[in-house]
Amino acid sequence: MTLSSRDLKRTAHEKLHNAKNQREIILLYAAITLGLGLVILLLQLTLNQKISHTGGLSGMNSRNMLSALSNFLPLVSSIVTMCLAFGYMGGMLRVSRGQYASRNALKTGFERFWPLLRMKLLLGAMILGLGFGASYLASLIFMLSPFSDPFMNAVAPAVSGGSLLTGGTITLDETALDAITAASGPLIVIFLALILAFVVPMLYRFRMADYVLYDHPEVGAMYALLASRKMMQGNRWQVFKLDMSFWWYYLITVLTAVLAYGDVLLALVGVSLPMDGTLSYILFYLLSVAATFAQLYFLRNPMEVTYALVYDQLKPREEKQNGAVLGNIFQM
C-alpha cells in the first residue's frame, strides 16, 4: 500500500479544522502530563533535601523510606503518562474519523489499564531480550575482530594476580579507565548498529498495536501485537518515510529535552549563572516544560491525526466494511 504523506497531512488538517474540541484535548493532555512531571520533580527535590538532613543510625529507616518513595514517584508518572497518551491517541483517532471527541477520551487509558500495561510489558520484555542478544553478539564480534587488540592491551596492565579467566582482579586508576573507555569505542558502535538492526524493525512491526487495542476493547495485549504485525507487513518502509517527513518535530523534541540540561551545558563551556545549582536546574527545567507545552499545543494534533489516518488505511478491508470504525458519538 502506498501512503502519500502530503495527502495524509492535508486530510489531517481538514479533519482538525472540522473538530470542535481538538484544542481542548491537547491542552488538557499537555497540562496534566507536564504538570505532573513538574510536581514530581519538586517532590523529589524536597525528599532529597530531607534525606540529606536525616543522619545517623537512628535515621536509617527514615532515609530508606524516603529514598524508596523518591524512586517510586517516576514510576507513577510513567504509568499516568502512558494512560493519558493512550487516551489522547484515541481522541485523535476519533477526530480522524470525523467522530465526536472530547476531553473524556483521556480516561480511556485508565479504563483499559491492564491490557495496556500487559502490552507495554510485553514490548519491554522483547526489547530487553533483543538488547541482551545484541550485547552478547556485539561482544562476540568485537572480540573476534582486530578492534579488540587495543582493548586487551588497555585492560592487561590493570589486571593483577593472573588473568581475568583465572581469578585475576582489575585495579583501575584514572589513566587505565580512560584508555579502556577509548578502546571500547568500536564495541559501542557495533552494539548500537545491532540495536538499530534488531529493535527498530520490531518497533515498526508493533507500531499499530495501541490503535488496535483502542479500537477493539474486547481484545487483549497479544491480539493487538499480532494484529499490528500483520497490518505492518510490507508497510514498514512507508511508515518510516512518513516518520522522516516529520523530522522537524522530532528535532524540536530533542532540543526541548536538551534545554532541561542547559545549566550543565553552560557549565561545560565555562559559563556560570548567578544562582545556586538547584535554582538553575529548576529554571532550565521550567524553560523546557514551557517549550514542550508550546510544541504539543501547536504541533502535536496534526501529526497524531496523520498517524491515525495511516492506521485506518492499513486496517483489513473486511474490518472497515463491517463498520468497526464507527462508534457511539456520545461514548467519548
pLDDT in single tens digits along all 332 residues of the chain: 677 899 999 999 999 999 989 999 999 999 999 999 999 999 999 998 888 887 766 678 888 899 999 999 999 999 999 999 999 999 999 999 999 999 999 999 999 999 999 999 999 999 999 999 999 999 999 999 999 999 888 887 776 555 554 555 666 677 878 888 889 999 999 999 999 999 999 999 999 999 999 999 999 999 999 999 999 999 999 999 999 999 999 999 999 999 999 999 998 999 888 888 889 999 999 999 999 999 999 999 999 999 999 999 999 865 655 544 433 322 33
User: Whole-angstrom Cα distance, residue 208 to residue 308?
Assistant: 9
User: Whole-angstrom Cα distance, residue 26 to residue 15?
Assistant: 15
Q: Which long-range contacts (CB under 8 A, 24 or more apart) does 246-252 make?
A: 246/303, 249/295, 249/299, 249/303, 252/295, 252/299
Contact 315, 93 (CB under 8 A): no
Q: What does the pLDDT read at residue 36?
A: 97
Q: What is each CA distance from 224 to 129, 182, 206, in whole angstroms?
A: 20, 44, 8
Q: What does the pLDDT read at residue 167?
A: 53
Q: What is each CA distance from 59 to 50, 52, 70, 284, in whole angstroms?
A: 11, 11, 16, 33
Is residue 325 assigned to a domain?
no
Backbone angles phi, psi at 160, to 5 degrees: -130, 155
User: Whole-angstrom Cα distance, residue 267 to residue 255?
Assistant: 18
Task: Determine the structural domain holding residue 159 and report its residue range.
Answer: 5-315
Q: What does the pLDDT read at residue 151?
A: 87
Q: What does the pLDDT read at residue 318?
A: 55
Q: What does the pLDDT read at residue 57?
A: 66
Q: What does the pLDDT read at residue 207?
A: 97
Is residue 111 assigned to a domain?
yes
Three cell numbers at 189? 558502535
Tell me what percent of the chain is helix, strand and coil, each rounded to the nearest 5.
Answer: 80, 0, 20
Q: What does the pLDDT read at residue 330?
A: 29
Q: Residue 103: which of 115, 88, 117 has the closest Cα? A: 88
Is residue 323 assigned to a domain?
no
Is residue 197 assigned to a domain?
yes
Contact 88, 106 (CB under 8 A): yes
Q: Residue 122: which of 110, 130, 134, 133 has the closest Cα? A: 130
Backbone angles phi, psi at 169, to 5 degrees: -115, 155
Helix/strand/coil for 234:
coil
Q: What does the pLDDT read at residue 154?
A: 83
User: Whole-angstrom Cα distance, residue 183 to residue 194?
Assistant: 19
Helix/strand/coil for 159:
strand
Contact 254, 240 (CB under 8 A): no
HSE-CB for 51 with a 13 A CA cutoff: 16
Is residue 322 assigned to a domain?
no
User: Whole-angstrom Cα distance, residue 293 to residue 97?
Assistant: 26
Helix/strand/coil for 153:
helix
Is residue 208 assigned to a domain?
yes
Give me the number of domains the chain comprises: 1
User: Whole-angstrom Cα distance, residue 167 to residue 164?
Assistant: 5
